[in-house]
């Protein structure tokens, strides 16, 4: 948390999409797109046989020299730190928070982000991938990066998901 009542949050998965992030964190305000150097984006679960609200793998970052993850830097009120932690499952051990330096057009920004505990690779559901891709498009991430996101293979899940809650907000 910062002294001015706000903190910066680097989103790289479903929270790229403003409508998804603001469901539980209405104070989130777009600041920059940016890249996290020496990391790679992966999709998976925090346990081998875990079910989740997205019905498939979700995004995480892992250290990987020479690669980069693009995302969005959101400015958020300190009062939403606990709701963001809850959304990311920190209390349940799904993710843990970490501080990273994100390169932006405004210079380096020190941000909070999240990395998955006990990562097990698992493809995302089509709905999760759609939210990530919509967020990347909404925030004009580099086209090459968007193409990489669009090329991610899914698990072909076809039932209800959190996307059903987000879609009405987007209209």
Look at residue 2 and tell me whether its pLDDT is greater than 60. no
Instruction: Let me know if residue 68 belongs to a domain.
Output: yes
Average pLDDT of 139-152?
A: 98
Average pLDDT of 13-17?
A: 97
Instruction: Let me know if residue 35 belongs to a domain.
Output: yes
Weakest-pLDDT range from 15-19, 30-34, 45-49, 92-96: 45-49
Instruction: Let me know if residue 1 belongs to a domain.
Output: no
Instruction: Let me know if residue 93 belongs to a domain.
Output: yes
Instruction: Indicate the number of domains in the chain.
Output: 1
Judge whether 88 counts as a catalytic residue. yes
pLDDT score, position 154: 97
Domain with residue 53: its CATH number is: 3.10.490.10
Asked whether 136 and 146 are in contact (CB, 8 A), the reply is yes
pLDDT score, position 49: 66
Instruction: Let me know if residue 101 belongs to a domain.
Output: yes
Residue 76, beta-bridge partner list: 7
Range of the domain at 122: 6-170
Average pLDDT of 40-59?
A: 88
Instruction: Please choose, from the candidates 136, 170, 171, the residue with its C-alpha nearest in 3D space to the C-alpha of residue 151.
Output: 136
Q: pLDDT by residue (tens digit) across 58-85? A: 999 999 999 999 999 999 999 999 999 9
CA distance 117 to 44: 10
CA distance 62 to 77: 27
CA distance 60 to 77: 23
Question: Which candidate in 48, 62, 88, 105 is catalytic?
Answer: 88
Residue 37, beta-bridge partner list: 68
> Given the DSSP bridges, would you call strands 107-116 and 95-104 parallel, antiparallel or unpaired?
antiparallel
pTM of the model: 0.93
Instruction: Let me know if residue 54 belongs to a domain.
Output: yes
Instruction: Let me know if residue 118 belongs to a domain.
Output: yes
Instruction: Let me know if residue 147 belongs to a domain.
Output: yes
Look at residue 31 and tell me whether its pLDDT is greater than 60. yes
């Amino acid at each position: 948390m910062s002294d001015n009542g706000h903190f910066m949050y680097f989103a790289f998965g479903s929270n790229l999409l403003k409508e998804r992030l603001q469901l539980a964190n209405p104070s989130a305000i777009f600041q920059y797109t940016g890249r996290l150097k020496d990391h790679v984006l992966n999709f998976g679960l925090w346990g081998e046989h875990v079910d989740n609200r997205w019905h498939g793998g979700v995004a995480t970052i892992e250290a990987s020299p020479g690669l980069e993850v693009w995302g969005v830097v959101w400015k958020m009120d300190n009062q939403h730190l606990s709701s963001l932690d809850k959304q990311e499952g920190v209390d349940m051990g799904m993710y843990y928070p970490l501080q990273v330096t994100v390169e932006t057009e405004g210079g380096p920004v020190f941000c909070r982000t999240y990395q998955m505990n006990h990562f097990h690779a698992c493809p995302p559901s089509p709905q999760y991938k759609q939210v990530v891709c919509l967020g990347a498009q909404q925030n004009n991430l580099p086209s090459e990066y968007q193409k990489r996101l669009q090329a991610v293979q899914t698990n072909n899940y076809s039932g209800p998901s959190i996307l059903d809650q987000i879609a009405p907000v987007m209209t």
